[in-house]
Amino acid sequence: MSKYAIVKTGGKQFRAAADDTLIVEHIPGEPGDKIVLNEVVMVNTGKSVKIGSPFVKGAKVTAEIVRQAKGTKIHGFTYKPKKDCSKRWGHRQLQTHLKVTEVKAG
């Protein structure tokens, strides 16, 4: 069984193992920059499982920024009957693509 961690970033939780690619909320930085994710909720080493309260002490996930991108377009339409009021809107969320390089159990 491989070593993996559950890491929290951008208000969401992701399963991160070595050589995984994660698409997370925007993190400032340029492609090629190394970042460290310290908010590790759980670590599975293959032999034991460490669960944090709320985070595992000393555990961290090291990753490299692969690219900064935008997500898919979300379309919306607002309409109020009898008021002749309608509005179309769209949104593209900024995303960061990360390549996980290392998981440390702490």
Domain segments of the chain: what residues?
4-104
Q: Is the pTM of this model over 0.85?
A: no
Is the backbone of residue 93 left (phi > 0), alpha (psi -120 to 50) or beta?
beta
**Residue 102 scores a pLDDT above 90:** yes
Q: Which of 1-5, 10-14, 44-48 has the lowest mean pLDDT?
A: 1-5
Q: How does residue 106 score in pLDDT terms, banded at 50, 70 and 90? A: confident
pLDDT > 90: percent of the chain: 89
pLDDT score recorded for residue 58: 92
What average pLDDT does this structure show over 90-96? 97
Q: Edge-to-edge strand order for the sheet containing 12-17?
A: 12-17, 4-9, 40-44, 49-51
Q: How far apart are CA 101 and CA 41, in angstroms?
A: 18
Tokens, residue 71: 């997500």
What average pLDDT does this structure show over 70-82? 96
**Residue 1 scores a pLDDT above 90:** no
pLDDT score recorded for residue 97: 97
